[in-house]
A and B are shown apart, each in its own frame.
Chain A
């Protein structure tokens, strides 16, 4: 858990790891972890956008992700728009399933840190229409499930870290 070992897990909560392939899930099962296996399902609410412009002489393209930058190319006669603004799902997960690895001695009601969320939860929405996923957060183990502790945020869009 490289990220949380850097000193960010100040409350010293138990870190729940995620296994994202058959082999790692089976390894964890043999090591005694309880498995919470879930489908990896992209949320239609999560999206990012891009546009492609091309230099009319060199043929080289530029991929844009910010309305403000496209304005510069709209005014530039050397560029033409090849693909107009298009929203897409921007995350890639190799396996269509994954598992939270629950330590066998985790107590019901215990607060934990989930380092790699399986569920697609919106972390933030940008006022240009993009919505990004939450990758890490705290949760409470109720004995059967991890209850994700997250307040969805909406603009003004801010990031710290």
Chain B
């Protein structure tokens, strides 16, 4: 997947929009309760947070289509993410 940190927007490698990330809270991932192997639940708003390091573009697209309020966690150094400039690869 590709991430534009200026617009805080995540795309698939093919350029399909996944989600614009927005969270006004300072959430510490390490302190969140583990929901399943790679997911956690936000203690502030109860949204499921998916660790994008362990899902494919297609899986993520499907998850977000089913539940658009699902939150995502990205570390831009993770191997399956590259950083793009203003929406361009």
Q: Which residues of A contact B (CB under 8 A)?
A: 3-4, 7-10, 48, 50, 62-66, 68-69, 90-91, 113, 126-128, 130, 132, 136-138, 151, 156-161
Contact = CB atoms under 8 A, between A and B. Distances in A.
Contacts of A128: 83
Size bracket, chain B contacts = 20 to 34
A158 to B, nearest CB: 5
Nearest to B46: A10
Nearest to B22: A161
Given A8-B24, A138-B24, A48 B73 contact: no
Given A63-B88, A65-B83, A136-B24, A156 B49 contact: no
Contacts of A113: 24
Contacts, number: 87
Given A3-B24, A136-B24, A161-B21, 7 more contacts: A8-B25, A66-B83, A130-B5, A130-B83, A157-B76, A160-B21, A160-B49
11 contacts: A8-B25, A63-B89, A66-B83, A68-B82, A136-B22, A156-B75, A157-B77, A158-B74, A159-B3, A159-B75, A160-B23
